[in-house]
Every structure is written in structure tokens, then in C-alpha cells.
Structure 1
Amino acid sequence: MSDHSIKLANLLLSGEEQLAITHIHTVLTENDRLTLYEDLLTPAMTYIGKLWERNEITVADEHLATAICDFIISDFEFRSSSKEQGNRKKVMLFGVEGEEHYIGLKMASAVFQEFGWSVRYLGPNLPLRHAETAANAWQPDVIAMSAALSYRLPTLKKSVQVLSQTAGHPTVLIGGRMAPHVHFEEEAASGPGQVIIMSNLRELHRWLTFAQEGVGTINAFS
């Protein structure tokens, strides 16, 4: 992790919202969404998560840092928003029931918006029955879910099984800290919807670029 990310993490933990934004602007040479998300905010929040796991910071400290990180993402998206409509494919994003981490989902939502997708961000901790109802009603092309903690995996797998069978058989994307460490071969083979694991936002950006150019999709199990 870079010194820039460690400094940013310390500013977030100190509640120094404006200093954090100033620090980001000194590091970024342009409005580079991926650099902000992947090289600054994600490492900073991962570092903060490890401090919390080691009891070196309190839950209140972690919540404060998360709230400021949320504000920074919203502020960046407001300043760099575009009226480009693009292809208007649809994506629904949420955290599975019991999953309270949501910063990564917000970042992913912004990447989809960058490519002109119609986005419905349903937030963290969404019960499966409500996700299923929303998917059948809106019929998104893609459903994106996150998994940050290992004990959420049974819920995540059940969600994959159910949501891949909803109207339109959407592609299911899995992200979050646990995504690189799990496999969903059985769920991917059980229905017509494709299941794809995204290790980071740069992978998502590449996948969306290929989809936009009509190159095809990235199969996580190839």
C-alpha cells in the first residue's frame, strides 16, 4: 500500500474531510475514477478494516471513516457526472442480507454509470426475497452483489441460485473482499445466467469496455 493511501486513511480516521479531499486532488492529475477508487480509497479502507480487526480502532472510528469515504465518492461523482445516455442497459447492485459493507458497491455503481448504464443501487443488507421481487419487476441485464466476509458466503450462494433464475436470466457479478477466494461453478452451471467474479474495479472496467465494443463477455470460469 502506498504512502498516499496510508495518509488518506489517517485523514479519514481523524475526520478531516476537507484535508482528505485536498490530499486526493494533490495525488490525482485528472478526474481518474479508477485511480481514485482502486489506488487510493480501496487500499485506505482495507487498511482501516485491518486496524479494526486488530482492535486498534473502534467501531465509531471505522464508521466515521466510511461516512467520509462515502461523501468523497458522492462529491467526485457529482463533479464528474455526464449527461451521456449510452446504451442504457440495466444493472441492479446490492449487498446480500447481513452484509453491511457498501463502499465497493457505490464505486461499482459509478463505473457502470460511466458506461451509460441505468443503475439501481439498492444498498447493503437487502433480504433475498426483496431482491428477487425487484429483479423480476425491473428485469436488469446484470445483478451485482458483494461479499466482504466469509460467513456471508452461504447467503451469497443462495442469492446467486435464486437471482440467476429471475426474469431475463441476468448475468450475475460477484465482487467484494471474498470474491477472489470463492468459486461458483455449480451455481453458474445450474441455469442460463452467467456468473462472473470480479476481483477489482479495473476488471469491471475491462468487462464493460469489452461489452460496449461487442467483443463478448469475460467468463470467470474459463
Structure 2
Amino acid sequence: MPAETVVLLPGTASDEVFVRTVFAEPLSQVGAVLVAPRVRTLCERLTALDNAWAGHPIVVGGVSLGAHVAALWAAGNPGKCAGLVLALPAWTGPANGAPAALAAKASARVVADHGVETALAGTTGWLRDELTRAWHGYGEELVPHFEEASESAAPTLDELRSLDVPAGIVGCTDDPVHPIGIARQWADALPRAVLTTTTLDAYPRALGGAVQAWQRAKS
């Protein structure tokens, strides 16, 4: 039996390096092949999913904005999606002032007015390292990307209900930017979802728990 292809997208202003760091090992442990495309815009994220489909259903997903885009693509492409691996969904339907959307808008303003280094002030440890690499990697696309992400739509509950495929979700119980209530809302709407939870002090590798949740949803 061929290995399953799992295409995972990064969150807002994140990158493929972070996706590989979090998901490469847990996917390898279950015999799946990770595809982590280099994408910067919403359009590039959708195009990457279109390009990954090669005539047979694929597993899709991602982190935060990446989870939103993947679930929307799956809902719009019936028959092309074999499963979902979703970490930290940030809102459902229109952004409507969701914490992650407001954070993206605020980051856009600070970067535009004062530069990346000022926007990174106050971050520490692994988060600072990840954001420094990823944000500089976006270059001049960073501010426009923050702005488009902050105004983008996530799937509606009806769209989630249409996705009758195994879905693994990881949510965080103490992350105010990605409220656990949204992860639970998605898990309740998706017909075959398994939700697992983590905490901020276990980031970032704990996000790979979405892979184990997906495997449980398959059984």
C-alpha cells in the first residue's frame, strides 16, 4: 500500500521550516509522506494544494491559517481530500475581530511603521527564533500577508460538516490567540474528528499531536 501524502500549510507569517519541524517526525512514525510547500500568500497556499493533488485523494491541513485554507480547499474539492490534520484553528467563518485576526492587523501596523525588529521585541526563546527566520523570509510580502490573513475567512460550520473524512485536531487550552473553544467547535462540526489538547509550555512540537488524532479518527 503506498504511503499517504500529507500536505500541510503554515500559519500566518510562518513558513515551511516550522511545518517540517513540527510534523515531519510524527508523520514519519505513521508511514506518511509530508509535503510542506514554500508559500507566502493565501493564493499560493491554495495553489499548493491544487498542485499536490495527482488524481487520488490527499490528506491536507496545517497550522492556524494553514488549517483554515486546507479545510476550505477540502470543502470546495469533494473527493480530493482523504483526511485532515489541523492544528490551532483560530476562527470559524468570517474573522469578525477574532484574537488571531487582531494580532495579525497589529503586527502589520508595527512592522509597517517601525520595522520587523521592533515587532519582534518582547518575544523570546523558540518563538523569537521561528518568527525572526520566517518574518525576514517574507520580506516585502510580510505586511500585505498580515493584512490579507487578518481579513480572510475560515470554513463555516456547514462547510466543516460536509467534510466526512478522518480529521485530527490539536487545540491549546491556554492560548488566547487560538481559543480552545474554536478547536472544540471544529471538532464537533467535523463528522469524523478526534480532538487532542496541549498547553503553551509544550509548544511547538506538541502540535504534532494532530497526527496521532488523525490516526485515531481513521480507526
Fold shared, TM-score > 0.5 on shorter chain: no
Q: Which range, TM-score by smaller chain?
A: 0.3 to 0.5
How high is the TM-score relative to the length of structure 2?
Answer: 0.41
Greater strand share, structure number: 2
How high is the TM-score relative to the length of structure 1?
Answer: 0.41
**Structure having greater relative contact order (Cα 8 Å, sep ≥ 6):** 2
Larger Rg: 1
